[in-house]
Homo-oligomer: A and B are copies of this chain.
Amino acid sequence: MHNVQVNGEDILKRQLELAEANRRLLEEKRVVAVSVMGAIGSGKTSLIERMIDRLAGQGLHVGTIAADSAGDDDHQRFLSHGADSINLNTQDDCHLDAHTVDHAMEHLPMDKLDILFIENVGNLICPADFPLGTANEMVVISTTEGDDMVRKHPKIFAQTDILVLNKIDLADAVGMDPQRVVSDYSRINPHGKAVLTDARHEKGIDDLLEALGFECTNTQ
């Protein structure tokens, strides 16, 4: 992040303080929060929908915060899967920040929730600088974007310990090699876990939940 001071206040320091306040609130309320970052159209919403279904099937209460520049497409999808959801339109802002998330949580039934998915605005640059105070973070890209996504955005991948490569079923059709993404990622983030998914056909969802630390028994 740029070292930006506004009226003498260090923006980065203030963001860290706000994120820490969110972290304390989430711990107090015993809500496991997951920050879901990723490319536009990479399948963040579809992956969250699949995880909502599985977690709700375990009797867990799931909340969502859906952020987009405009519209409420994702929010409506989460509602239709039974999540308690808040829609956020960031307009000209290309990312969520901890303060916005704090306000969204004021409108969610935090005492009831077990899990909170926070879907960020779709891009791989801006969200990297704004910690939200969640226990878990993941970043989603998809095979159709090509095999150069990690090399082009090293910062967000270096600091996020779960990479989800979605639309794995389309890798052959677009002539991309998933292994190239996985090896770029392991070079830049040796401790990170790469999970391959196909949200549309419900593949890899249990692997993703496991990487996030959820234990899910497949009841199907």
Which chain A residues have a beta carbon within 8 Å of chain B's beta carbons?
1-2, 39-42, 68-71, 73, 92-94, 121-126, 128-129, 141-142, 144-146, 148-149, 151-155, 167, 170, 173-175, 200
CB distance from A71 to the nearest CB of B (A): 5
Pairwise interchain contact A70-B152, C-beta atoms closer than 8 A:
yes
Are B125 and A69 in contact (CB-based, < 8 A)?
A: yes
CB < 8 Å neighbour of A124 from B69, B73, B93, B146: B69
Complex alpha-carbon distance, A41 and B170, angstroms = 14
User: How many copies of this chain sit in the oligomeric assembly?
Assistant: 2
Contact B149 A41 (CB under 8 A): yes
Q: Which residues of B contact A92 (CB under 8 A)?
A: 1-2, 125, 128-129, 155
Q: Are A152 and B94 touching (Cβ within 8 A)?
A: no
A–B pairs, 8, beta carbons within 8 Å: A40-B124, A41-B145, A41-B146, A69-B125, A69-B155, A92-B155, A94-B126, A122-B152
- What's the nearest-Cβ distance from chain B to residue A36, in Å? 16
Which residues of the other chain, B, contact A167 by a CB distance below 8 angstroms?
144, 174
- On whether the beta carbons of B200 and A152 are closer than 8 Å, the reply is no
Provide the residues of chain B in CB contact with A126, threshold 8 Å.
94, 123, 126
A40 to B41, CA, bound (A): 9
Question: Nearest-CB distance from A20 to chain B (Å)?
Answer: 22
Given A40-B123, A144-B170, do A152 and B71 touch, yes or no (CB 8 Å)?
yes
Closest to A144 in B: B144
Which of chain B's residues have a CB closer than 8 A to the CB of A41?
A: 39, 141-142, 144-146, 149
Chain B residues near A154 (CB-CB < 8 A):
69-71
Contact of B71 with A151 in the complex, beta carbons under 8 Å: yes
Evaluate whether A174 and B153 lie within 8 angstroms (CB atoms) in the complex, with A125-B121, A142-B144, A144-B144 already known.
no
CA distance A41 to B93 in the complex (A): 21
Residues of B within 8 A of A1 (CB): 92
A184–B182 Cα gap in the complex (Å)? 36
A44 to chain B, nearest CB (A): 11
